[in-house]
Amino acid sequence: SQTIHQWPATLVQPVGSPLSLECTVEGTSNPNLYWYRQAAGRGLQLLFYSVGIGQISSEVPQNLSASRPQDRQFILSSKKLLLSDSGFYLCAWQHSNYGYTFGSGTRLTVV
Amino acid sequence: DQQVKQNSPSLSVQEGRISILNCDYTNSMFDYFLWYKKYPAEGPTFLISISSIKDKNEDGRFTVFLNKSAKHLSLHIVPSQPGDSAVYFCAAKGRNTPLVFGKGTRLSVIA
């Protein structure tokens, strides 16, 4: 069966520090992968998506970047975190034409 | 520009009564609509969906209604149970485009 793993579950980082969040999918190949962020009052905002290795589409210009070094690995990064980067980050994979399954999320607090 | 709108940030309903959550969209290219349920510190989980060729889809206590001419959909939960208390996200998708989410509605079912 297919599963999605996301870590860490919680993270507290100082302003200006780097960030790396990892997401991996098991049991499928060449999935479409997505990074969303839930910030206060903003709902679920799409940040990046990828339809294959090395292919990244950015939806919102910001302080973050994404990479897909392997077929089932999707990484969200930042070189220098801002206070406004705080939020709940969710990775998802698309398992059908319209169905997404989400990971358990990472709560990032920038202090 | 918000393509999917959930104008009620919160809703309180008594146990056993009907909960009605509303969602409006602006993009006429959307052809599939989904509702996700989210508990704190967890990823959203799929609840129910509807294709644009239908106007109703029912699954147990959950029914989704779609009014294409009004670009409006609603989720009915009946009877509401305390375990239904969560944030509900409306989402919409066109072919080959990512899921777009609303800001969510926090449902509280009071015993």
Residue pair B31/B94 in contact by the 8 Å Cβ criterion: yes
Question: What's the count of helices (H) and strands (E) in chain B, helices before strands?
Answer: 0, 11
Which residues from A are below 8 Å from B66, CB to CB?
none
| pLDDT tens by residue, A56-101 | 998 886 789 999 999 999 999 999 999 999 999 999 999 877 789 9
Asked if B89 has any chain A CB less than 8 Å from its own CB, the reply is yes
Q: What is the average per-residue pLDDT within B78-87?
A: 97
A43: nearest CB among B34, B45, B101: B101
Residue pair A108/A86 in contact by the 8 Å Cβ criterion: yes
pLDDT value at A1 more than 80: no
Distance from chain centroid for Cα B13: 16
Helix (H, G, I), strand (E, B) or coil at A83: helix
> What domains can be seen in chain A, in order of their start residue?
3-110 (2.60.40.10)
CATH topology for the B4-110 domain: Immunoglobulin-like (2.60.40)
Asked if A7 has any chain B CB less than 8 Å from its own CB, the reply is no
What pLDDT, on a 0 to 100 scale, did the predictor assign at position B23?
Answer: 98
pLDDT value at B54 more than 70: yes
For residue B45, name the pLDDT band (cuts at 50, 70, 90): very high
Residue pair A48/A34 in contact by the 8 Å Cβ criterion: yes
For residue B104, name the pLDDT band (cuts at 50, 70, 90): very high
Pairing of strands B105-110, B10-14: parallel
Exposed/middle/buried for residue B56 (C-beta within 10 Å: 0-12, 13-18, 19+): exposed
pLDDT value at B105 more than 70: yes
What pLDDT, on a 0 to 100 scale, did the predictor assign at position B12?
Answer: 98
Higher-pLDDT residue of B35 and A43 is: B35
What pLDDT, on a 0 to 100 scale, did the predictor assign at position A41?
Answer: 73
Q: pLDDT above 90 covers what percent of chain A?
A: 78
What pLDDT, on a 0 to 100 scale, did the predictor assign at position A43?
Answer: 85
Helix (H, G, I), strand (E, B) or coil at A75: strand
Asked if B48 has any chain A CB less than 8 Å from its own CB, the reply is no
* Contacts (Cβ under 8 Å, ≥6 apart) of A85: A19, A62, A63, A64, A78, A108, A110
What mean pLDDT, rounded, does chain A reach? 92
Q: Which residues share a beta bridge with B72? A: B24, B67
A102: nearest CB among B44, B102, B103: B44
Distances in whole angstroms, Cα of residue A29 to Cα of each of A4, A33, A48, B103 = 12, 11, 19, 31
What pLDDT, on a 0 to 100 scale, did the predictor assign at position B95?
Answer: 85
What pLDDT, on a 0 to 100 scale, did the predictor assign at position A40?
Answer: 77
Q: How is chain B split into domains, by residue range?
A: 4-110
8-state DSSP, B83 = G
Q: What is the average per-residue pLDDT within B81-98?
A: 94
Taking every pair of Cα atoms in chain A, the longest distance, rounded to a whole number of angstroms, is 39
* Contacts (Cβ under 8 Å, ≥6 apart) of B53: none
A98: nearest CB among B34, B42, B45: B34
8-state DSSP, B84 = G
